[in-house]
Structure 1
Amino acid sequence: MAYWLFKTEPGECSIDDFAAAPDTAIVWEGVRNYQARNMLRDQVKVGDAVFIYHSSCKLIGVAGIARVVRQAYADPSQFDATSAYFDGKSLKDNPRWVAVDLVFERKLPAIIPLDKLKSSAKLNGLPLVQRGSRLSVMPVTPEQWQTILQLS
């Protein structure tokens, strides 16, 4: 099992959306960065644990945990002309983008804010706290995972 951190805007897909349908798989779609796509496609596996990180909102930080229940497949939003994630250059027989399915594991007692994550020396290697890192999908080492859980 591997560990990940997925960034989302709570207005699109929050930990509360997962909690509202705890037994329902939610499609993690809309990733439009090649490096993040490659991780989703090549490294994220069924059973992996994922921190759900809220960004671009009032309270930015790690909000909860989900689990991968379906490995990478063609992101359906790339073919939907009404979607904000539509990609007219992506072909059905050679899709450019992938999605994975996640299910709710649990909410953290409180959101762990970014400044608290940055203040932990044990998280210095976490891409999230490094300057210029804007990926929506990033790996988390087992040690970093435990550190983040301890911060909660």
Structure 2
Amino acid sequence: MAYWLFKTEPDTFSIDDLKSAGEQGSFWDGVRNYQARNFLRDEVQLEDRVFIYHSSCKVPAIVGIAKVINAAQPDPYQFDPDSDYFDAKSTPDAPRWFGVTLQYVQHLRPISLASIKANPAIIDLALKKANRLSIMPVTELEWNLLTQN
């Protein structure tokens, strides 16, 4: 099992929306960054654990945990010309964008970006380095430190 951090804007999709999706979970769509796509397509696996991080809000923070219940599948919105995520260069035979299905596990007491940055034991977390990547790996040590917060 691996650990990840997925960013989302709570006005678009929040931890509460994921919880409302129930046992069938929710497809994590709209990723349009190649490095994040590569993580989704090549590395994120069934049962991996995911921090849900609310960004672009008053207090950016890790707010909950999800797990991967379906591994990478082509993002269907890349084929929909009416979607904001349409990609004319992507075809069903050669999709460019992928997503995974997440299932809600639990809410956490928010772990703010400020507290993450202030924690000297968290060294390599890309989030700490002002990384704008929407999906990033988390080490087991970082996961354990953050879940003990």
**By the TM > 0.5 criterion, same fold?**
yes
Partner of 2:139: 141
- Structure 2 residue 4 is matched with structure 1 residue 4: yes
Distance 2:21 2:27 in 1: 12
Partner of 1:31: 31
Distance 2:48 2:94 in 1: 26
Distance 2:24 2:92 in 1: 26
Which of 17-26 and 37-46 deviates more?
A: 17-26
Counterpart contact for 1:22–1:105, Cα < 8 Å: no
Distance 1:104 1:121 in 2: 29
- Structure 2 residue 100 is matched with structure 1 residue 96: no
After TM superposition, give the deviation of residue 22 of structure 1 in Å. Answer: 2.7
- AA at the equivalent of 1:70: N
Unaligned runs of 5+ in 2: none
After TM superposition, give the deviation of residue 82 of structure 1 in Å. Answer: 2.0
**Structure 2 counterpart SS, 1:118:** helix
Which of 77-86 and 133-142 deviates more?
A: 77-86
After TM superposition, give the deviation of residue 89 of structure 1 in Å. Answer: 1.3
- AA at the equivalent of 1:150: Q
Percent identical residues: 51
The correspondence of residues 8-27 of structure 1 with structure 2, limited to 5 A, is 8-27=8-27
After TM superposition, give the deviation of residue 53 of structure 1 in Å. Answer: 0.3
The correspondence of residues 99-118 of structure 1 with structure 2, limited to 5 A, is 99-108=99-108, 110-118=109-117
TM-score by length of 2: 0.96
Q: Structure 1 stretches (4+) deviating beyond 4 angstroms?
A: none
**Structure 1 counterpart SS, 2:148:** helix
Unaligned runs of 5+ in 1: none
Partner of 2:125: 126
Counterpart contact for 1:65–1:106, Cα < 8 Å: yes
Distance 1:127 1:64 in 2: 18
Partner of 1:65: 65
**Structure 1 counterpart SS, 2:90:** coil
